[in-house]
A and B are shown apart, each in its own frame.
Chain A
Amino acid sequence: MSTPLLEVRDLCVSFATRDGVVRAVDGLSFSVDAGEALGIVGESGSGKTVSSLSILRLFGLFDDVTLSGEILFEGRDLLRISEAELSRIRGGKIGMVFQDPLTSLNPVMPVGEQVAESIRFHTGATRPQARKRAIELLDRVGIPDAAKRCDELPHSFSGGMRQRVMVAIAIACEPKLLIADEPSTALDVTVQAQILLLLDELRRELGIALIMITHDFGVVAATVDRVLVMYAAQPMEYCTIEHLFDRANHPYTEGLLRLVPRLDHRMGGRLRPIEGQPPALTEEISGCPFAPRCGLAEERCHNDRPPLVRLGPHHESACWLATERAARLTTPGRPWETPS
């Protein structure tokens, strides 16, 4: 078996804040093979964005971060290499698309230049060469009349168009891995689909591995091969996309899937939200973080943290009941169709 392109092992990220230490990511492990697409799913505050920022160490100015674990990319631990080495990887081998396209572009720099500067920095191309390549890229991501529009400033582009520019920036240097942090969340529904389609196309065309961070199972279903479900900074379930919809094991995953509204669902069926709130990440969680909201929770769930149980070659679930539930196969076919 070949080594994966990216392998994250036992990643822990905590922030020192005024309210105490926040454990934003707690014991996360996953891997992405070359050309593969992984989805990281979870609600806001579950640690998915922080995990993605950790890969390139792109934390904010005021963040007081403590990182542990390993992030192996092409055999090197990104958490331990120097800032200078990392800067060759950022934008070069790993590209990133961020959540809010409206504020992600420099407002006073022409969009073409924002693509070209990255090319110049990583490949040493001359200004005209980089510009030519930038125009090609803008054209590729679907900016109409790219040669002309590349000299315009971001404010004359719509949200969807700006996100396309962001994608062009991210793939400018033909990265091996693309990290997309909720790339469609801030966009209109129709535009969302276009962006996802574009990412999917580019991934297949250029053979880029993709990490898609989202809270939307629809996005996951459309774009990824494998899924990591996170809750309260911890991994809950890790499985292929087929397993997710057919054999979701973790009660949290199941709860989330029940919340996906379906057009083919019979009328009158009601969505059943998961009761309660996620725990505060400043508190020490001894058991399963989902236990207080889980209908199946037993005493051990509240007291001891469940291990990540291996259910198959591509299926892991952090639940004390994982094996039993897998055997019962509780959710054949359509977990969202709840018995009435």
Chain B
Amino acid sequence: MTAVEKTSPLPVRPRRGRTGGGLGPLLLRRLRDGVITLVLVVAIIFILAHVVGDPALVYAPIDATDEEIERIARNFGLDRPFHERFGSYFADVFTGDFGESMWQQRPALQAVGEALPDTVQLTLVGIVGAAVFGIIGGILAGSRPGSLFDRGSNFLSVTALSVPNFWLGLLLIVVFAVQFGIFPTSGRIGPSSIVLPALTIAIVHGGRIFQLVRSATVEEMSKPYVRVARSKGFPHRRVLWGHVLRNTGLTTATIAGWEYVRLWGGAVFAIEYVFAWPGIGTLTINAAHRQDFFVLQAAVIIAGAFVIVANLIVDLLYRVIDNRIKAS
């Protein structure tokens, strides 16, 4: 039985912002979940850092005596019991004090803050490229499934998303930087430096977006209302733009949003490292190598917070727009 039978002749007045469980409670629920996740991230990072290695040992010179190491440990407060250190670290983090970088001799937060804009820039340029490839391609392919374009682009996208991103990055460096010398191999020298890392993101994540958008389009195209639109005489393009995309638009935007979040969840780290892009990924990996725990912790926690917040925004936007569509 379908429960859509509303025979009331009175216009049903939608209650804005309260459909679908309510936006306010949802926001609170999500914020609570976000905070819990973040606490877990902090805890796991801290435990890992103190199980994997002893920061004092890394910081000490190779020929340091036990006494010297002990002194260094005392300097960093590493001689206190584990729970005490964890407690104070926890308190510090939530007041915005992420400790001092042992390697760079400055606040860890400052190092992360410096790297953050570069990563934001790279991920944004990359995701825009990915969205252009994925959304346009996915719509065109999905609206004519089985066509030559569909089969060709589908093959390309599967290839693109199956290739490891760092390998693709290296390949692009070899071809475009080493062979043809069009773009710099790595680092951040000028505006052209962003092209290859952003292209890597665009290809890999564009492939994923393509797949999702394509299947959303195919599914939508087989709905009965599409046949009705065709029975009105509309040509393919008009059916697609006037009817189908109105319905898939929101899903598509969400797909791109989630893909952006995924990027922050790790993909950008490897790509940055391959291209020596001075962002948070490179910073994190270097910090891990040098066992620069405070920077590592700060970077991971801030990237984690970014993922949580971005996820929340995507989700809420989806709800808001969805409600508006249903309510209008």
Interface residues of A (CB under 8 A from B): 56, 58, 60-62, 83-84, 86-92, 95-96, 98, 100, 102-109, 117-118, 121-122, 144-145, 148-149, 152-153, 155-159, 166, 169-170
Report yes or no: A148 in contact with B228, Cβ–Cβ below 8 A. no
Once the chains are docked, how many angstroms separate the CA of A52 from the CA of B191? 60
Tell whether A106 pairs with B225 under 8 Å between CB atoms, given A158-B7, A159-B4.
yes
Which A residues are in CB contact (< 8 Å) with B227?
58, 60, 98, 104
Please give the distance in Å from A132's CB to the nearest CB on chain B.
Answer: 18
Tell whether A108 pairs with B325 under 8 Å between CB atoms, given A62-B145, A103-B223.
yes
- Residue ID in chain A nearest B224 by CB atoms: A103
- Residue ID in chain A nearest B231 by CB atoms: A96
For B239-278 the 0/1 string (1 means CB < 8 A from A) is: 0001100110000000000000000000000000000000
Tell whether A100 pairs with B224 under 8 Å between CB atoms, given A56-B231, A90-B232.
yes
Our pick among A153, A156, A169 for the contact of B232 (Cβ within 8 Å) is A169
Please give the distance in Å from A339's CB to the nearest CB on chain B.
Answer: 41
Report yes or no: A98 in contact with B145, Cβ–Cβ below 8 A. no
Please give the distance in Å from B59's CB to the nearest CB on chain A.
Answer: 60
Task: Given contact pairs A106-B246, A108-B246, enumerate 8 new A-B contacts (beta carbons under 8 Å).
Answer: A61-B144, A61-B221, A86-B233, A96-B228, A107-B247, A158-B4, A159-B2, A159-B4
Please give the distance in Å from B218's CB to the nearest CB on chain A.
Answer: 7
For B193-230 the 0/1 string (1 means CB < 8 A from A) is: 00000000000000000000000001001111101111
Most chain A beta-carbon neighbours within 10 Å: one of B5, B223, B238, B243: B5
For B302-328 the 0/1 string (1 means CB < 8 A from A) is: 000000000000000000000001101
Report yes or no: A153 in contact with B11, Cβ–Cβ below 8 A. no
For B1-13 the 0/1 string (1 means CB < 8 A from A) is: 0101111010110
Once the chains are docked, how many angstroms separate the CA of A84 from the CA of B145? 21
Report yes or no: B6 in contact with A156, Cβ–Cβ below 8 A. yes
Which B residues are in CB contact (< 8 Å) with A148?
11
Which A residues are in CB contact (< 8 Å) with B231?
56, 58, 90-91, 95-96, 98, 170
Interface residues of B in 1-45 (CB under 8 A from A): 2, 4-7, 9, 11-12
Q: Could you jot down 13 A-B contacts, CB within 8 Å?
A: A61-B218, A92-B233, A106-B225, A109-B243, A117-B234, A117-B242, A121-B234, A145-B9, A153-B326, A156-B6, A159-B2, A159-B5, A166-B228
Report yes or no: B2 in contact with A61, Cβ–Cβ below 8 A. no
Please give the distance in Å from B327's CB to the nearest CB on chain A.
Answer: 9
- Residue ID in chain A nearest B144 by CB atoms: A61
- Residue ID in chain A nearest B143 by CB atoms: A61
Q: Within 8 Å of chain A (Cβ to Cβ): is B235? A: yes
Tell whether A104 pairs with B222 under 8 Å between CB atoms, given A91-B232, A145-B9.
no
Once the chains are docked, how many angstroms separate the CA of A105 from the CA of B230? 12
Once the chains are docked, how many angstroms separate the CA of A111 from the CA of B93? 55
Report yes or no: A106 in contact with B233, Cβ–Cβ below 8 A. no
Which A residues are in CB contact (< 8 Å) with B222?
60-62
Q: Within 8 Å of chain A (Cβ to Cβ): is B164? A: no
- Residue ID in chain B nearest A186 by CB atoms: B2
Our pick among B6, B218, B229, B235 for the contact of A158 (Cβ within 8 Å) is B6
Report yes or no: A83 in contact with B235, Cβ–Cβ below 8 A. yes
Which A residues are in CB contact (< 8 Å) with B9?
144-145
Which A residues are in CB contact (< 8 Å) with B6?
156-158
